[in-house]
Amino acid sequence: MTSSFSIPDLGLGTFRLTGGTVIDSVRNALELGYRAIDTAQIYGNEADIGQAIADSGVAREQLFLTTKIWTENLGRAQLLPSLRESLARLRTGQVDLTLIHWPSPGGAVPLTETLDALMQARELGLTRAIGISNFPVALQQQAIDAVGAQHIATNQIELHPRLHNPAVVAHARAHGIRITSYMTLGYGQALQEPMLQAIAQARGASVAQVTLAWALARGFAVIPSSTQRPHLAGNLAAQELRLSAGEVAQIDAMDRGQRLVDPEGLAPQWD
């Protein structure tokens, strides 16, 4: 990872989108000016995204592509072949960022083994950078101990107005690791929050824009998804909305530790 490497502040999330739905979402997003796309092996949409990118006419070097290695592929023998398959589906020779999607359940695959394989993938030019996802503080520290914080581009975690993950965020920041927020709109629950609605009304913005602007003001990268072109455009425009310190503090006070993504058998011991 070079010093010039940086993760775009706002990208397109594609969780739960497949087939024509994700092709349309990516096509609309690229037409609107998105240049970062987040996917994962388990989403089952890498080939669709590859097709949408190929059809878009946008040059590969203008894009920032992220994919994530599924738990079944975290072993040394599986990781590189699985990443090459992802690249083939995405119709590219290299992704910009490759993440460990979830920690190995029960520590079945040693974290050092997975990170060694990811470092090898980077050395081979299959990915520009590597990172982690859904890592609590203890595992984040293990990753730092294994390869050094300078080699971990991000920790992608659930983070929204009702779940701020302060311990993970503070630990990541102390080591210079950027946080990427997923589920920033909380499955749409944020859109129903009276405080956010009030800020949005006062600002002449949408609640989604206010929520994303809050996350951006906190320094997080965000990857909201949408299947509707007006919402895609609105989300992109959130980068232009500057909340006041008071408004950010109001949203900061909304944290309730309300976790929405906690899959049995996958989730680590949360902080």
Residue numbers annotated as active site? 43
H or E element in which residue 157 lies: strand 154-158
CA distance 66 to 127: 9
Give the CA-trace dihedral at 55, 61, 62, 67, to 10 degrees: 80
Residue 164's alpha-carbon distances to 17, 178, 218, 245, 268, in angstroms, are: 25, 14, 10, 17, 17
102 class by beta-carbon count within 10 Å (0-12 exposed, 13-18 middle, 19+ buried): buried
Calculate the CA 129 to chain-centre distance.
14
Helix (H) / strand (E) element for 158: namely strand 154-158
